[in-house]
């Protein structure tokens, strides 16, 4: 805060509230100054806050936009400026805060806490690794059920059931199960389509443990793959292996993404890679750093992120392989254990 010349910060984004305070309730916000730390929540969560939070003073408010206590605290402390998280503050909340804070200058901050969260502590990595382990275990139990005739929705349902049984607290995102020509949809959520032998199937899923997410993708064929399916799959797998070997601290996300994009270009498939190479994973399944043409963050040790190259050909299908890694001083540690196998037949 001193580096950014911020004397007071209002935190409303739930993952950031959890990160700083440990509070998991769905209604609450924080005021952090250079001298004080306060958690504001309503009657429903006072007991929960008392059990979860130790480093913040807990203040009762009427609702999640009751900012009168914040402005009163600022006035008593002689503070004239308040920083807000511009990416997570609605227009309604902004207007309410302005009306409650005459004479206080509001400063927009972008990715202030997200940049701090991008570099993980060892305890955070352990939770992410456990979430990845739950996903691996659920995937292994799912494999015997994957037969021609099963629907995409059934795959998603069976997978969710096994994840929950093994300890996933919730779903980190709506699972992607896309088969046949639909596998060309990078975000093709599960539908009623029946999976047939010889089709590409992409399954993108994860688990949540201790509030932290995991994320992985496997693409497979039930039966014997065609020559083209095998060619595309091996190209994507080799691109991922290339990324594993070349990533190091000090690189920008865009630089790593460009190497894989250039590799696809050699084979004429760069136009079919329509998303970034990867993204940070933690309290949210998409966070910093960003490994894409727009990724300007410098990769640092103890960052956790996905590596997920893909090729998507309209009216044919698509292949994506995604694994979760930690950037350690000695190199990448891959957290995902499930085998990358094209044929399940």
Counting other chains too, the contacts that 34-40 makes at CB distance below 8 Å and 24 or more residues apart are 34/1, 34/2, 34/7, 35/77, 36/73, 36/77, 38/73, 40/66, 40/69, 40/70
d(CA 155, CA 142): 8
Residue range 297-320, pLDDT digits in tens? 999 999 999 999 999 999 999 999
- Sheet containing 287-291, strands listed edge to edge, beginning at the edge strand earlier in sequence: 287-291, 278-280, 304-307, 323-328, 331-334
Q: Is the domain covering 119-334 a CATH 3.30.43.10 domain?
A: no
H-helix or E-strand spanning residue 244: helix 227-246
d(CA 65, CA 73): 15
Partnered with residue 304 across adjacent β-strands are 326
Domain with CATH 3.90.230.10 in the chain: 119-334
d(CA 13, CA 23): 12
Report whether pLDDT(183) > 90.
Answer: yes
Section 133-153 average pLDDT = 97
pLDDT at position 103: 83
Average pLDDT, the chain: 95
Residue range 272-283, pLDDT digits in tens? 999 999 999 999
Structure tokens at 186: 């990078």
Sign of the four-CA dihedral 43, 45, 50, 54: negative
Rg (CA), the chain: 23
Report whether pLDDT(345) > 80.
Answer: no
Please give the sequence-ordered ranges of beta strands (E in DSSP) within 45-153, or none if there are none. 57-60, 81-85, 105-109
Q: Name the residue among 300, 251, 296, 254 with its Cα closest to residue 277.
A: 254
Q: Read off the pLDDT band of 100 (50, 70, 90).
A: confident
By the 8 A CB rule, do 154 and 323 touch?
no
Section 225-235 average pLDDT = 98
Report whether pLDDT(182) > 90.
Answer: yes
Percent of the chain with pLDDT over 90: 89
| Residue 311, SS3 per DSSP | strand
By the 8 A CB rule, do 82 and 99 touch?
no
Q: Name the residue among 280, 335, 274 with its Cα closest to residue 303.
A: 280
d(CA 101, CA 75): 9
Query: What is the rounded (10 degree) CA torsion for 161, 162, 165, 171?
Result: -60
By the 8 A CB rule, do 28 and 64 touch?
yes
Superfamily of domain 8-117: Creatinase/prolidase N-terminal domain (3.40.350.10)
Domain with CATH 3.40.350.10 in the chain: 8-117
pLDDT at position 33: 95
pLDDT at position 101: 80
Rounded to a whole number, what is the distance in angstroms from the first to the last CA of the chain?
A: 56
Report whether pLDDT(55) > 90.
Answer: yes
């Amino acid at each position: 805060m001193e580096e950014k010349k911020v004397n007071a910060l209002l935190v409303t984004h739930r993952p950031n509230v959890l990160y700083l305070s440990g509070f998991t309730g769905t209604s609450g916000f924080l005021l952090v100054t250079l001298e004080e730390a306060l958690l504001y929540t309503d009657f429903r969560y006072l007991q929960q806050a008392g059990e979860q939070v130790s480093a913040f003073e807990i203040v009762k408010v009427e609702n999640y936009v009751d900012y009168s206590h914040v402005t009163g605290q600022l006035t008593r402390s002689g503070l004239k400026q308040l920083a807000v998280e511009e990416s997570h503050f609605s227009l309604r909340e902004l207007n309410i805060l302005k009306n409650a804070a005459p004479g206080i200058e509001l400063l927009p901050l972008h990715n202030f806490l997200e940049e701090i969260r991008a570099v993980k502590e060892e305890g955070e990595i352990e939770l992410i690794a456990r979430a990845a382990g739950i996903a691996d275990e659920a995937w292994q139990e799912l494999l015997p059920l994957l037969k021609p005739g099963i629907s995409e929705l059934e795959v998603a349902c069976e997978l969710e059931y096994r994840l929950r049984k093994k300890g996933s607290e919730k779903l980190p995102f709506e699972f992607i199960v896309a088969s046949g020509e639909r596998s060309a949809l990078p975000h093709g959520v599960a539908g009623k389509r029946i999976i047939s032998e010889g089709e590409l199937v992409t399954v993108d899923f994860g688990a949540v443990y201790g509030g932290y997410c995991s994320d992985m993708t496997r693409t497979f064929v039930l039966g014997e793959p065609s020559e083209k399916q095998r060619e595309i799959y091996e190209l994507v797998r080799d691109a991922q292996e290339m990324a594993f070997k070349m990533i190091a601290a000090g690189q920008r996300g865009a630089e790593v993404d460009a190497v894989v994009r250039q590799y696809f270009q050699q084979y004429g498939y760069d136009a079919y890679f329509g998303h970034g190479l990867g993204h940070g994973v933690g309290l949210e399944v998409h966070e910093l750093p960003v490994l894409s043409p727009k990724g300007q963050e410098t990769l640092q040790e103890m960052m956790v992120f996905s590596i997920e190259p893909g090729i998507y050909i309209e009216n044919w299908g698509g292949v994506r392989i995604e694994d979760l890694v930690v950037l350690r001083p000695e190199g990448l540690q891959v957290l995902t254990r499930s085998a990358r196998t094209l044929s399940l037949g």
